Every structure is written in structure tokens, then in C-alpha cells.
Amino acid sequence: MSTLLGEGARFPGGPSGVPEPNTFLVFGQDQTTVVTQSWYLDAATGRNDPSLLQFARDRLFTPQ
């Protein structure tokens, strides 16, 4: 699996890699799999933080 951080993509103020712990969510439908990893830039992130899980679900299941 290819990741943007693994390929060297960065954003201003972001980490050089995925910090631990982080929030991880996998969603599969038909022939598509979406994997999200999220964390806070300015605070500690708990493993599978409920607020970040909800944020990821909202992004995945809300039409743009």
C-alpha cells in the first residue's frame, strides 16, 4: 500500500512520518478500500480517538 507520507509528501507544520499512537480506520465497499490515519498536530492523540474516528467517517460518508 502506498502512502503520501511514505512517499515523502509533507505539508507545512506536519510530521515527517505517521506518529504513534494515531487513529486508524478502514472502510471497504465493492472493489474499493479506503484507509485513513489521523492525528492531532498540536496535542497528543489517543489510539483510535473517538473524535477523529467520527471526523473520518463524516468525510467518507458525506457526499462532496
CA 45 – CA 64 distance, rounded (Å): 27
Q: Which residues pair with 26 in a beta bridge?
A: 35
pTM exceeds cut of 0.85: no
| Tens place of pLDDT per residue across the chain (64 aa) | 566 666 767 777 777 777 888 888 888 878 888 888 888 888 889 899 999 999 988 888 766 5
CA 31 – CA 9 distance, rounded (Å): 26
